[in-house]
Amino acid sequence: MILLLVLAVLVFALLLSWISLVKESRRFNVPGPSPLPLVGNAHLFVVKSSEFLNLVEKFMNKYGDAFRVHFFSTPYVVMCHPKYAEALVSSTEHITKGRSYSFLTCWLGQGLLTATGQRWKSHRKFLTPAFHFNILQNFLPVFCKNQRNLTEKLRGLADGGPIDMFPLIALAALDNVTESIMGVCVDAQKHSQSEYVKSIEELSAIVTMRMQIPFFGEDAIFNLLPYKTRQDKALKVLHGQTNKVIETRREELRKANITTLANSNDIGIKNKHAFLDLLLLAEIDGKKIDDESVREEVDTFMFEGHDTTTSGIVYSLYLLSKHRDVQEKIYDELKTIFGSEMNRDPTYHELNQMKYLELVIKESMRLFPPVPLIERKILRDCEIGGLTLVKGTSVLINIYQIQRQPELYENPLEFRPERFEAPLKNPFSWLAFSAGPRNCIGQKFAMMELKITISEMIKNFYILPAPQEPELSADLVLRSKNGVHIKLMPRK
């Protein structure tokens, strides 16, 4: 009798759950599959991460350029066309990042990537000058030095065999971002097994896992698992390193009696400490920024300037390996710029002269955007781009699919850099650096690094295709489950 009563209660609870989910789904004017009790549509997404983008494409083909699903009780709306994405990314109101970004707060705190509201607005305003070209050009020697180290390493591997470029480029990118943002070289390319490098890899893997495995995203469950201990260990290393750098630099500024940005030029603001000094010396509402906020911003830019740039570079190299004619056009452009001095480092002005290379990079990032999906949380019932959205909805902007729309790009799967010579039919059809008020603040930093790396690769190597095709995986950035392989042969 008791068992029957328990079963009746469970059935009743499931029925109420189903009625609630169906009722809520009808508040949207967005098509999508009917939700099941408790799980919503979560069961449809139990797939390998390498199958996720294909699954989303199937939903788009079935339901249209915007569709709705319920992940347990949370409604998601996926936008696959710029006519919807434009309204959202252009909004100054809907700037709150979605739930998946919360898994980064243990590492990045309330840095620029994860913050919202007034904190985000004030930090975005005072951080923008850190990416002015007057400061960026001073990072050029750092990028060139680390690229020389990478080139030497690749010479030893350039025997015509397949090379997975992702881990190699990732280490070089880590050297670039730590030295330019923190003013400290971790020498990741020579010390790939260091505690700091391994901690970044460990934490990135754990955050990705929490995003992909539903129950691991719940703190109550995650905190009981051994991954929590591993996360805490990695955080101790990463936060400890950043805090040490902040403490050392603050003491240098104190001893030199440097209290404002105006008199900081004498000891490095025009050199490797530009970004860190900006944080340590700047004021918000008349108050100096506390060390915890400095750490959060330093860690945020270290994170954002590492994996995303790596993804942009490796997929550009992958596409170039399949298009020898494009490689030679880049090489011809470089010969025009450098003449008989092909072995020297570029100047900042010469990077800006690499117009065709920039077309190649944009086309590569169209086909393989480093961040394939971005997420925003809707904080009130509203209408965006003609779509009725309910408070609490998470909206996914599917950049990967938007940039492959046939109505926006002729033969969208073809690699055709020249398509960017003319203005885009819709400026929101290319969102590799996002757009609107929350666009990528470091896009000039990234483009500079991309140009240096790819141009030096073209100067020194023929890039050839490898037999392995990447199995795309939408993790924190666009990765590949089996690596991104090319072959290299020396030009000289």
Provide long-range contacts, Cβ within 8 A and 24+ apart, for 54-61. 56/80, 56/398, 56/401, 57/401, 59/32, 60/398, 60/401
> Three-class SS of residue 391?
coil
Asked whether 279 and 259 are in contact (CB, 8 A), the reply is no
E strand segments, 100-231: 162-164
Residue 382 marked ligand-binding: no
Give kind and range of the element (H or E) at residue 437. Answer: none
Decide: 169 and 453 in contact? Cβ < 8 Å: yes
Q: Distance (Å, rounded) from C-alpha 113 to C-alpha 101?
A: 8
Tokens for 238? Answer: 């990463």
Beta-sheet pairing, 461-465 with 287-288: unpaired
Give the Cβ contact number of residue 48 at 10 Å: 11
* Cβ pair 266, 235 in contact under 8 A: no
Beta partners for residue 163, in sequence order: 486
CB 173 within 8 A of CB 201: no
Q: CB of 107 within 8 A of CB of 306? A: no
Which tokens sit at 157? 């591997």
Beta bridge partners of 490: 461
Counting runs of H as helices and runs of E as strands, what totals does the chain give?
19, 13
Q: List residues forming the annotated binding site for heme.
A: 440
Q: List residues forming the annotated binding site.
A: 440
